[in-house]
Amino acid sequence: MLKKKKFSLLARFVVDTNGKKIGESISVYEDLLIIKKDDDYYAIPLKHVEVKNNKIHLRGIVQWDKAKELAERWIKNV
């Protein structure tokens, strides 16, 4: 993904498939979108996100345990 396009994903609300707000995008690491949800961080593969109406929509069912595990890589490297 182009660097400019990655930056366009930052500081946006992230919503689920029903449009319910679940967090905010704070970083892009490798091919992962980093989301802050409450006090926790989650990493979602970029292929599972799309921008609509200035919000990031997650596609499909998110495995939050796995997303939290993936975010640990980001936490260790920032």
* Of 37 and 60, more confident: 37
**Count of domains in the chain?**
1
Domain, as residue range, for 69: 3-77
Compute CA distances 4 → 8, 12, 68, whole Å. 6, 15, 26
pLDDT band at 8; cut points 50, 70, 90: confident
DSSP, collapsed to helix, strand or coil, labels residue 9 as coil
For 38, how many CA atoms within 13 A lie in the half-sphere containing its CB?
A: 2
pLDDT tens, position by position, 46-78: 999 999 988 999 998 889 999 999 999 999 988
What are 65's two structure tokens? 């345990």
Q: What's the average model confidence in pLDDT over 7-26?
A: 92
CA–CA separation, 24 vs 21, rounded Å? 8
What global pTM score does this model have?
Answer: 0.89
Please report, for the domain that includes residue 28, its CATH number. 2.30.30.240
Q: Are 42 and 56 in contact (CB under 8 A)?
A: no
